[in-house]
Chain A
Amino acid sequence: MSVAINQGGESTMIQLSGDIGIAIAGDLKATLLDALKSGREVRVSLDGVTALDVTAFQLLWSAQREAVKKGLKFALTPESREPFKSLLQCMGLDGSLAR
């Protein structure tokens, strides 16, 4: 599991891979806060994510809300939204997080 940040160009890309859950939640929070400080569009890539839990969702949801407050764009960029889609559906959160 890993969280990597790439700040270059017009957007900040956060690359997530592996199991994104409570074990890495602290790192993910710190990375999202750093990304939002940059003032650039934030794109979070879910490519390579094998599993997500509710803590990951909460962080992404809260980061999106923070981005909106700052007037920044915030987007998830996977090729497929699985397993994120399954998580959202299972937990009644489908539609809560904008694509």
Chain B
Amino acid sequence: MIQTASNNAEQFKQSFREEAREILADLESALLELNENRGDQELVGRVFRGLHTIKGSGAMFGFEQLAAFTHDLETAYDLVRNGRLETSSDLIDLTLSALDQIRAMLREGENGAPPAEATEFQHILDRVRKLAGLVAPVAPADSNADLGGTHPTSVEGLENWRIHFAPGPDLMRCGANPALLLRELGQLGSLSVTADVDAIPPLPCLDPERCYIAWDLELKTGASRNAIRDVFIFVEDCCDLKIEPANGLVAALPVVTDHEETAKTLVDPRSPRGGRREHDSPDTASSIRVAAAKLDRFVNLVGELVTVQARLSELAATHDDAEVRAVAEEVERLASALRDNSMDMRMMPIRGTFEKFRRLVHDLARSLGKQVELSIEGAETELDKSVIDQLNDPLMHLIRNSMDHGIGSPEERVARGKPAQASIRLAARHAGASVLISVSDDGRGIDSEAVRAKAIEKGLIGPDAALTEAETYALLFQPGFSTAKEVTDISGRGVGMDVVRRNIDNLRGSIEVTSKDFVGTTVTLRLPLTLAIIDGLLVTIGEAFYVLPLSNTLECIELSRDEIDSANGKHLINVRGEAVPYIRLRERFEVHNAPPPFEQVMLVDTEEGRYGLVVDSVLGNCQTMIKSLGRAYRHVQTISGATILGNGTVALILDPQRLVEESIFAARPQVRGHPGVPERNGAAGAPA
């Protein structure tokens, strides 16, 4: 029982960490907005409430140092919202640094992470206190502190307040501690506490996890009603709370219950701990938090069900039984609906990923001495979680590149007749079965001549090579390619764009770059909506089945034995006057039985150009759920996963890009620009 209690405590802590990180993301967003709108009181209130929530719940879950650290920040923003402290850029920058420090504190003890840097913690605290005019350290939330300690505001005049606080049945289970709430209330002024224990039942009937005690309190304080109410902000949905003035002067104010006050005063209500947050979309009546691993398991099971259903349909088709066929059709309808629903569950708006970059742009702009505004469009565009998880690095590299190389200094921009403040736009939209994500800037554009010169210098192209604009820009994604005159902390090593290309390849996506001198550059990523399902062509090679992704496949051409024999050993096929090389997959996979008289060349589009993959036959289109091959086969790069067909057979999913790369390497390993075919970090398969 003790071990279980200890495990539960760790579980609560981890739950707090997850929610605190969400709050920190919202805080960061609010601070960056506040930076642009200094007088916005709603934003100030949002920042205050976020800090207050982290402080309160941090103390409850054993993060005392974090609570103490956040306490002074909260104090500073309380002064701001009472008009006693200015929202300066120093304060905002300091608060952003403090959020980083809080993140470090959250990582402490998580998966063995070391403690956060103590000197940095103290340095930030000292600067906050200095800014806020808190000369003496304010006492942190401490279970041994006396009541009636220093209070953060000293407004002239004290008022008497009568407070009734009756915890609901679930208040303790939510992790709240009435004793800490009362201590915090006591810090606002002189507090008189009367407890009502009448509701405590006999011991055999007592629910040990429920609080039966209610309190009637009298508080003499200079703090505002909001400040008093804020003490209970974390538990307002789990208790009965009444706050009313006790003296005659303000008796004219209507006595309101807490719920009415919530509706009137809170513009951006923060829901109590329970993980629910207000979103922009209207239909957020209820939602629950589910671990990603559980969702993945659920989707996997649905995939298995769909596979078995396909087998049932095949079997039903071969039986002359109308009733069996009818049931099979119904099962197919339900399985299809279940699959669509389960895939929909994994879809998430890209907002969270996009919003994270506001902080990056803000920090980079400061360090580069540039003025940059980030605008976001299509934040509600939904993608599969597994796709979103892999987008962070590519987008980060693209933005860093844009800010470092694309966008000039304010002076340079003004000299060119542009506004000093540059703009970067992140946009997302659906396009059929894909999603298009673009990063655009209004900077210098890409210098095509510089790219060409660097490519010639590196031997990637000959001096007389005639390249289209798209082919020129594609050179930027070669490993080690950079036209940067100097390597900065931000970019310039030629590593970032290669990472972008590889990550997008892993996602079965593509990249397109458009640019205009002195106007700007746009990089567009085309990505599948989900990695879990693939649209492909089912083909055979020997006795085995394979799936070729439709996204890469251009067309299918018949290849006769005569054409093979007349090529004199060269694997080339004439496609409308163009000689296209092909790879005989029978040879690649060492299939030795006799080939059919006519084979099929699947023309695929790769980064090395058009190539053909020769298969025995094409059976038709298929849309299947991808299964990962697992760790044992992670080094098999030419196969990106597997799927189970309706008849129970396993079909391997081919990776045309890797097949072509390996063939080129096998044929000419010393070709410049192809140092080898580096292994990717895991094949793109179904989510684990």
**Which residues of A are at the interface with B, using a C-beta cutoff of 8 A?**
1-2, 21-29, 32-33, 36, 51, 53-55, 57-59, 61-63, 65-66, 83, 86-87, 89-93, 96
Chain B residue numbers with a CB within 8 Å of A61 are 197, 200
Residue B651, interface by CB 8 Å: no
> Given A22-B209, A23-B8, A91-B179, A59 and B203 touching (CB < 8 A)?
yes
Which B residues have a C-beta under 8 Å from some C-beta of A? 1-2, 5-6, 8-9, 143-144, 147, 172-173, 177-179, 182-183, 186, 193-195, 197, 200-204, 206, 208-213, 215
The one of A24, A29, A86, A92 in contact with B215, judged by C-beta atoms closer than 8 angstroms, is A92
Which A residues are in CB contact (< 8 Å) with B178?
A: 54, 91
Cα-based distance from A96 to B193 in the complex (angstroms): 13
With the chains together, A54 CA to B181 CA distance in Å?
Answer: 12
Instruction: Evaluate contact between A90 and B193: CB separation under 8 angstroms.
Output: yes
CA–CA, A53 to B401, complex, Å?
A: 54
* Residue in chain B with minimal CB distance to A93: B195
Partner of B200, one of A21, A23, A58: A58
Q: How many angstroms between the C-alpha atoms of A72 and B208 in the bound complex?
A: 22
Across the interface, which residues of A come within 8 angstroms of B197, CB to CB?
A: 61, 93, 96
A–B complex contacts, Cβ < 8 Å, 7 sampled = A22-B172, A29-B208, A55-B210, A65-B200, A65-B202, A87-B179, A93-B213
Asked if A91 contacts B144 (CB within 8 A), the reply is no
The answer to whether B211 touches A54, judged by C-beta atoms less than 8 angstroms apart, is yes
A70 to chain B, nearest CB (A): 11
Residues on B with C-beta less than 8 A from A63 are 203
Residue of A nearest to B178 (CB): A54
Residue contact B179 to A62, C-beta cutoff 8 Å: no
Q: Which residue of B lies closest to A51 (CB)?
A: B143
CA distance A94 to B113 in the complex (A): 42
| In the complex, chain B residues whose CB is within 8 Å of the CB of A91 | 178-179, 182, 193, 195, 213, 215
Contact A62 B195 (CB under 8 A): no
Q: CB < 8 Å: which of B1, B177, B195, B200 contacts A92?
A: B195
- Residue from A2, A54, A61 with most neighbouring chain B CB atoms (10 Å): A54
New contact pairs (5) apart from A53-B177, A54-B172, CB-CB < 8 Å: A26-B209, A54-B213, A59-B206, A90-B182, A90-B183
User: When chains A and B are docked, how far (Å) is the Cα of A57 from the Cα of B1?
Assistant: 20
Question: B179 to nearest A CB, angstroms?
Answer: 5
Q: Closest CB-CB distance, B174 to chain A, in whole Å?
A: 10
The residue in chain A whose Cβ has the minimal distance to the Cβ of B217 is A92
Question: B208's contact among A22, A86, A90, by CB below 8 Å, is which?
Answer: A22
Task: Considering the complex, give the chain A residue whose CB is closest to the CB of B192.
Answer: A92
* CB-based contact B213/A58 at 8 Å: yes
Q: Which of A22, A27, A59, A92 contacts B193 (CB 8 A)?
A: A92
Give the residue name and chain of the B residue nearest to A89 (CB).
B147
Please give, as numbers and ranges, the residues of chain B lying within 8 Å of A21 by CB-CB distance: 177
CA distance A93 to B211 in the complex (A): 14
In the complex, the answer to whether A62 meets B194 with C-beta atoms within 8 Å is no
A54 x B2 contact (CB < 8 A): no
List the A side residues contacting B202 at CB < 8 Å. Answer: 62, 65-66
- In the complex formed, the residue of A with least CB distance to B205 is A62
Q: How far is the CA of A96 from the CA of B6 in the complex (A)?
A: 31
A98 to chain B, nearest CB (A): 14
**Counting chain B CB atoms within 10 Å of each CB, which of A25, A29, A51, A55 scores highest?**
A55
Can you name the residue of chain A whose Cβ is closest to the Cβ of B204?
A33
Contact of B209 among A27, A55, A90 (CB under 8 A): A55
Q: Which residue of A lies closest to B206 (CB)?
A: A62
Chain A residues, Cβ within 8 Å of B2: 1-2, 24, 27
Give complex CA distance A26, B5 in Å.
Answer: 10
Query: Are A55 and B213 neighbours in the complex by a CB distance under 8 Å?
Result: no
A66 to B203, CA, bound (A): 7
Is the Cβ of B5 less than 8 Å from the Cβ of A23? yes
B residues in contact with A55, CB < 8 Å: 172, 208-211
Q: Contact between B203 and A62 (Cβ–Cβ < 8 Å)? A: yes
Q: Which residues of chain B are within 8 angstroms of A25 by Cβ–Cβ distance?
A: 208-209
Centre residue among A87, A92, A96 by max chain B CB count within 10 A: A92
- How many whole Å from A67's CB to the nearest CB in chain B? 9
Kindly provide the distance from the CB of B7 to the nearest chain A CB, expressed in whole angstroms.
Answer: 10
Please measure, in the bound complex, the distance between the C-alpha atom of A63 and the C-alpha atom of B206, giving whole angstroms: 10
- The CA of A18 and the CA of B1, in the complex, are separated in Å by 15
Q: How far is the CA of A58 from the CA of B1 in the complex (A)?
A: 20
Q: Across the interface, which residues of A come within 8 angstroms of B209, CB to CB?
A: 22, 25-26, 55
Q: Considering the chains assembled together, what is the distance between the CA atoms of A2 and B209 in angstroms? A: 17
Q: Are A26 and B183 in contact (CB under 8 A)?
A: no
CA distance A59 to B207 in the complex (A): 9
Chain A hits for B182, CB < 8 A:
90-91
Selected from B143, B172, B201, the residue in CB contact (under 8 A) with A83 is B143
CA distance A88 to B529 in the complex (A): 58
Give Cα distance in the complex from A15 to B215, angstroms.
Answer: 30
Chain B residues with CB under 8 A of A51: 143
**By the criterion CB–CB under 8 Å, are B144 and A86 in contact?**
yes
B12 to A, closest residue via Cβ? A23
A21 to B1, CA, bound (A): 14
CA–CA, A28 and B209, complex, Å: 11
Smallest CB gap from A69: residue in B: B202
List the B side residues contacting A33 at CB < 8 Å.
Answer: 203-204
Query: Contacts A33-B203, A58-B213, A59-B206 given: A27-B1 contact, CB under 8 Å?
Result: yes
Instruction: For the complex formed, measure the closest distance between the CB of B214 and the CB atoms of chain A, giving whole angstroms.
Output: 11
